[in-house]
Every structure is written in C-alpha cells, then in structure tokens.
Chain A
C-alpha cells in the first residue's frame, strides 16, 4: 500500500525547485498483483480494512444489542412493578395514583440514561478502532 503525502507525488514541483516529498510506507500491492484488478471505486476497500470494518461492525452490533436488551429488561421490570402492585394504585400523590404517575413519567429518565451511556460507549469504541487503523 502506498501513501502519497503530496498532491501528486514527485511530478509536481513545489516552489519550482524541488519535487514534493513522497513517503512510501509499504510495497505497492496494486502494482505487484498478477491477477486482474477487482472492480474499484471511490470507496474501494482493502482486505485489511474490510476485516477491521467487520470487527468494528460486530462490536457496534454487540454494543447495540446489549444496550437494547438491557433497556428492554428495564422497561419490562418497570411495567411489571407498576401494573402488578395494587399498592401503587392505592398510593396517591396530588390525587393521582402512583402507578399512573410512573406510567406517565417513569420511562423517560431511563431512555435518557441509556442514550447517553450508549453514545459514550460508542465513542470509546470508535476511538479504539481509529487508533488501531491510524496509529499515531
């Protein structure tokens, strides 16, 4: 893989005196290949990148499913508590049964906590991935 750090390698002259610097970081696999080149496009991906992306995708998927399942469990728990405890129907705040108040207001704080938690975990995941792909 070749990494060009100038606009077009050594052909263009900067300031009319010296060729722009070009740094080769590894063997150019595309030129060394003997079989026909695969279909390429603006977003062509190498095998290594595909592997990285697959692992990132899996990690993203696992994180999303873990968050969704745990949120679902919390949702079911609150639902069972508010619908299965007659005590909460008898208990009132301002004339409104607590079971109704939980139903009206109780689920939104859970969503906010899960949303922030997921987004922070996701950022951490992508930062780790970026460091792996582009080690400084």
Chain B
C-alpha cells in the first residue's frame, strides 16, 4: 500500500512537472525567454523559484539525517545556507542584475575584458554545477530504494531524464514556473508531517531521557569555534559563487526588485529550514536506531510510518517522497539551466538549439558520476560544494563588483589558487581521515584559509599587474547606479 502510494506520488510529481514545463514551452519563444525568462519574473514568483531550486536533497533529507547523527552542529548548515542569501542581498543581487550579463562567465568577461578569465570561470562553473548535481542524484537513488525497493540506478536516471528533458524543452521561462511549484510542494512535504509529528509526540507521555536524546556535548555547548567559523564563512560566501543562484537575479526586472526577491527568498527558505530542523529534532526522539551513516539520511522518509501508523502515515510518506523528488528535480534543473547557459554561450553560439544540446550534456555527465560512485552524507556533500565555490569564484565576483583595481591576471590567479588549495585540502582530508586531530579539522573545513588565500592572491597580483581594464569605470557605474538614473528601460537589460 505504502509503496504503491509512494510510486503514485512520484509519477504525479513527474507528470505535473512535465505539464508545467510544456505549458512554459508554449510561452518560451525567444532566446531571452530561454536564458533569463525575458527578465520579467515578479519578486514573489522569482523568490519561490529561487527557493525551489536552492533547497536541495541536502537539506530536505540530509539535515534531519545529520542532526540524528551528529547533533546540533548540523543546524549550522541551514543557518549558513540562509545567511548566504543575506550576503547575496547586501553585496551581489542588485549589481549583478544591473550588469545585464546572462551568466557568471558573461559577467567576468564584461568586467575584466579577458577571454582566459571567462574560460576559467566557465570551467569552474561546470565543476561546481556537476559536483552539486551528483548528491541530488544520489539522494534520488536513496529515496526510491527506501520507499519502494527500486534499484538505485532507476532513481538517479529518472531524475536525470526529467531534468534534462524539461530544461531542454522549455529553458528558463518554463523552469521558473516549475521551480515555484516545486518549492511549495517541498515546503508542504516537510511542514505538514512536522505538524503531525509534533501533535503526535505532544499527546503521549514522554518516555525519553532528554540528557540521552539531546546530550550537551552534541548540543551547542560542544561547539568547535574554528570548525564552525570556517564552515559558516564557506557556506555564506559559497552561496555567492553558486552558478544557479546568480543566474536567477538576471530574471528580475530591476536591481531593486532583485533585492526584494532576495528578501522573499530569505523568508521562504527560513520557513523551510524551520520545518526541516523540526524533523531533525523529532528524529532524535523517535528514530535513534537509524543513527548510522548511510541510513540516517532516510529518516525523514521513515518517520511518518513510525509516528503515524495506518493510512494517514502512508499518505504522509507519499507526501514526503513527493517533496524529496521535488528537491532533487528543483536543484538539478536549476543547475542544468545555468550550466547549459554557460556551455552554450561559450562552446557554441548561445542559440536555443545549442542550449538544448548543452542541457543534455550537462545532465549526462553527473549522471555517469552518480552511477559510478556511492552516496556520502548528503548535507556534507552539498556543504563541500559550497566551500569550493566560496574558495574559487566568490572572491573574484565580490572583488569584481566592489574593487575597481581588480585585473584579469589577479582574478585568474585568485581562482586558480582558491580552487587548487580547496581541492587539495579536501582530497588530503579524505586520505588522512578524522584521526589526526587539529590538522584533520583544518583540512576538512578549509574555507577560512582557502578563501583568504584566493582573495589575497587576487589583490596582490592585481596591484602588481596594474592593468585595470579601460572599461572599469563604465562597468562599475552600470553595476551600482539605480536603473532610472542611467536612463535605462528596466526590463530591457
């Protein structure tokens, strides 16, 4: 019964996503529709869409799993993901919208007037995007295996097919509607069960010992200042460097609406994280037996049948699996849109046809990686991508917006140093493991020093180089001036 309901929920989500995608296809007619939804998306829709693609398997399934496994330290992940948008709001949202560029490589090219910097940015965007899609596909495999005993490759392949197909068909305009729908589905799929769980648990006599379920050493009192600070800085700045986050601001009509959109995103993702954190707390009370790596990420799927037996529990499980699928689809399709934009503009001629081919390529590569590798902890895998983005792209994007003396050589050096150090540190951390004490922590949470190294490198090389692009004043003027004072028609870009 439960398996049939879950499969029904999966089919329903896929069919509704396809219908909305096809409906979007009917109104996606121009190249601008495909890449930036013709810059006409209103803040409420755009905020729902941004939240829809931002909230991934990492926080939908992974957060409750990590709370169960390692305690309240897991809450730093959603705090960092949400606070990252505060950074986006204050430093990036309006200037990037005003830049008029289609993708991050477009922005870097326009700002630094360097084809090499553009190519390097495109390569990093691709790496970050692919690394981010892999945990989504792993999550899909895990979820479908748990609820319906389906072989792991079916889940990953289904998500990849739906994502590749819908992006190739409708581009950004159709994806915007799809994402907005997926956000509300994801939110309902955690909030409704969370309410049921809290009501159920508050109605029974507590048989738990809080000191065992919520031990102080796994709570806020056991905080490691270095690891927490480094992780938070990585997550905050990582949001700035994610390709699918930035491309969304290009779809806002004006810089000011891009800011209000970001405020909306912070409200929506906060509400989602509150629901997700509640599931994590409930998991510690109701499912301590699932606290083993690899199994813990399935706790959100298993709680409904444990706490609410009978048909209602089955329905809640179906709702959670529908939400989980929405999480995999939302994030993956957002990433594939931004990667396809970058690839089609760089390798082809930026046409609709090349966008479609790029969408297929950008889906197949991570699918191959996902099928060839085993799933790790979902929330930490996603966190690692954030730290890599924060080390490689974020310093250059921030300096490009706020520091007029940045040069192409400085940016290239910063990107290489940040990406190289971060990758080397994470690989070394995997090899050494967690037994080496302080060095293990420093290597496992490298954000604080890799981001600093990338920023310093960019600054020092730029100052030594001194060849600021001739267009710097013109570009910065465009980035920081309100639309009206430039005499620009807001929606024209």
Contact = CB atoms under 8 A, between A and B. Distances in A.
Nearest to B221: A83
Interface string B459-493: 00000000000110111111011101110000000
Contact of B471 (A41, A99, A105): A41
Interface string B78-89: 010011011101
Contact of B484 (A82, A119, A134): A134
Contact of A79 (B223, B470, B484): B223
Given A53-B476, A108-B270, A64 B481 contact: no
Contact of B220 (A92, A94, A103, A122): A103
B214 A97 contact: yes
The DSSP consensus for interface residues of chain B is: helix
A115 interface: yes
Contacts of A82: 220
A67 interface: yes
Contacts of B485: 129-130, 133-134
B89 A115 contact: yes
B259 interface: yes
Interface in A86-136: 86, 88-89, 92, 94-97, 99-100, 102-105, 107-109, 111-112, 114-116, 118-119, 122-123, 126, 129-130, 133-134
Interface of A: 39, 41, 43-45, 49-50, 53, 56-57, 60-61, 63-64, 67-68, 71, 75, 79, 82-84, 86, 88-89, 92, 94-97, 99-100, 102-105, 107-109, 111-112, 114-116, 118-119, 122-123, 126, 129-130, 133-134
30 contacts: A41-B474, A53-B481, A57-B402, A60-B480, A61-B402, A68-B90, A88-B220, A94-B201, A95-B210, A96-B210, A96-B214, A97-B210, A97-B214, A97-B216, A97-B219, A100-B72, A100-B220, A103-B220, A104-B278, A107-B83, A108-B79, A108-B273, A108-B274, A111-B85, A111-B86, A112-B267, A115-B266, A118-B86, A130-B485, A133-B485
Contact of B89 (A94, A100, A118): A118
B260 A119 contact: yes
B437 interface: no
A56 B480 contact: yes
Interface in B40-86: 72, 75, 79, 82-83, 85-86
Contacts of B256: 123, 126
A95 B206 contact: yes
Nearest to B223: A83
B22 interface: no
Contact of A99 (B198, B206, B219): B219
B72 A64 contact: no
B234 interface: no
Given A100-B72, A111-B270, A89 B477 contact: no
Nearest to B255: A126
B295 to A, nearest CB: 22
A114 B473 CA distance: 30
Contacts of B281: 96, 100, 104
The DSSP consensus for interface residues of chain A is: helix
A57 B476 contact: yes
B280 interface: yes
A53 B278 CA distance: 46
Contacts of B206: 95
**Which 10 A-B residue pairs are closest in the complex by CB-CB distance?**
A108-B270, A104-B277, A64-B90, A83-B220, A53-B477, A126-B482, A82-B220, A57-B480, A45-B477, A115-B263
A14 to B, nearest CB: 22
Given A108-B274, A119-B259, A43 B219 contact: no
Contact of A104 (B72, B85, B478, B480): B72
Interface in B209-239: 210, 213-214, 216, 219-221, 223, 228
B91 interface: yes
B69 to A, nearest CB: 15
Of B86, B220, B260, B486, which is in contact with the most chain A CB atoms at under 10 Å from its CB? B220
A109 B83 CA distance: 11
B259 A122 contact: yes
Nearest to B94: A122
Contacts of A94: 198, 201-202
B285 interface: yes
Given A95-B285, A96-B281, A97-B210, 11 more contacts: A43-B474, A50-B473, A57-B402, A60-B480, A64-B90, A71-B83, A83-B220, A92-B210, A105-B277, A118-B90, A130-B484
Interface in B17-55: none
Contacts of A109: 270
A89 B216 contact: yes
Contacts of B251: none
A92 B219 CA distance: 13
B82 A108 contact: yes
B454 to A, nearest CB: 19
Given A57-B480, A129-B485, A134-B484, A64 B91 contact: yes
A68 B221 CA distance: 25
B352 to A, nearest CB: 25
B332 interface: no
B208 interface: yes
Contacts of B470: 39
Nearest to B256: A123
A6 to B, nearest CB: 15
Given A43-B477, A50-B473, A115-B263, A103 B75 contact: yes
